[in-house]
Amino acid sequence: MKKLISTTMGLAMSLAAGSALAADDLTLQLKWVTQAQFAGYYVAKEKGFYDEADLNVTIKPGGPDIAPAQVIAGGGADVIVDWMPSALASREKGVPLVNIAQPFKKSGMMLTCLKETGIESPEDFPGRTLGVWFFGNEYPFLSWMSQLGIPTDGSDGGVTVLKQGFNVDPLLQKQADCISTMTYNEYWQVIDAGIAPEDLITFKYEDQGVATLEDGLYVMEADLDDAAKVDMFKRFVDASMKGWKYAEEHPDEAAEIVLEFDETGAQTEKHQKRMMGEIAKLTSGSDGSLDPADYERTVNSLLSGGSDPVITKKPEGAYTDKITGGM
């Protein structure tokens, strides 16, 4: 009897060990530092959604010196979070990235201007100094100005483009009439600096029809030929979207989870809870699949970015529904 019990226990332990070993390791590289912008992934990890999908997920924070495309090209990640402009630019330059899911349905990018400048509409931009993020983030702006017929080369009737760091100093110091902000981050930095909302005017790229897709999930094209990896990516995206939907429904809890993962201690509860509330507006309505119309709008915006477009031709094979098709 003891031998039978011992054998049974041994079998159970062996099966348990085998089950533990069956979890697939997956590394996700974020586009930026740990914050509510990526809450869905941290929630999925903390709430056990990845465990339920037999995944052992490592989440690597990004930062100003980290280019997700370079990380995945060097084998440092299986999946990256990136904005489509930079992902498509990387693809054209030889890094074969493919969008497998699009958790962010809407764009959070906008120009924030001081009302005292007298700017009331985009027609008031000529002659003004506008702060613009570069490193691939300038292309929606250049496309917008191109569509408006406003030069960005400093010529008469155009705008002066100020290369903006990832801060709001140019507006606070009145070096620029308008600066680039995200609805969930820099805009609130301006507010926290003491400028009242009624003293600002904002122009959302989404409302101007020139928004490009942000925060998509990308993998290397060759990995999509591997059936095992495709299965792993499907489980990852499904679990991640569970995390995003949970975060939308429980924004304060999601923000608290993000704070637990912030090893730098740089984030504050107030800022993260506010950020999560804004992020939920961008992920709302998304089931993870990429809308072809949104993709085409992004591509067309990038192709029309003035004399130096981010891509020179329409990409082929830059996205797939192989991962989200069954969702």
Where along the chain do its domains lie? 23-105+213-303, 109-208
What's the pLDDT score for residue 21? Answer: 59
- Tokens encoding 240: 């991640």
What's the pLDDT score for residue 210? Answer: 86
CA distance linking residue 250 with residue 200, whole number of Å: 30
Which CATH superfamily groups domain 23-105+213-303? Periplasmic binding protein-like II (3.40.190.10)
- Asked if domains 23-105+213-303 and 109-208 share a fold, the reply is yes
CA distance linking residue 112 with residue 130, whole number of Å: 9
Taking only the tens place, the pLDDT of each residue in 263-295 is 999 999 999 999 999 999 999 999 999 999 999
C-beta separation of 29 from 76 below 8 A: yes
β-pairing, 55-60 vs 24-29, is parallel
Which CATH superfamily groups domain 109-208? Periplasmic binding protein-like II (3.40.190.10)
Residue ranges, the chain, pLDDT below 50: 1-9, 11, 14-20, 326
What's the pLDDT score for residue 19? Answer: 46
Which residue type sits at 108?
A: G
What's the pLDDT score for residue 8? Answer: 47
β-pairing, 160-163 vs 178-182, is unpaired
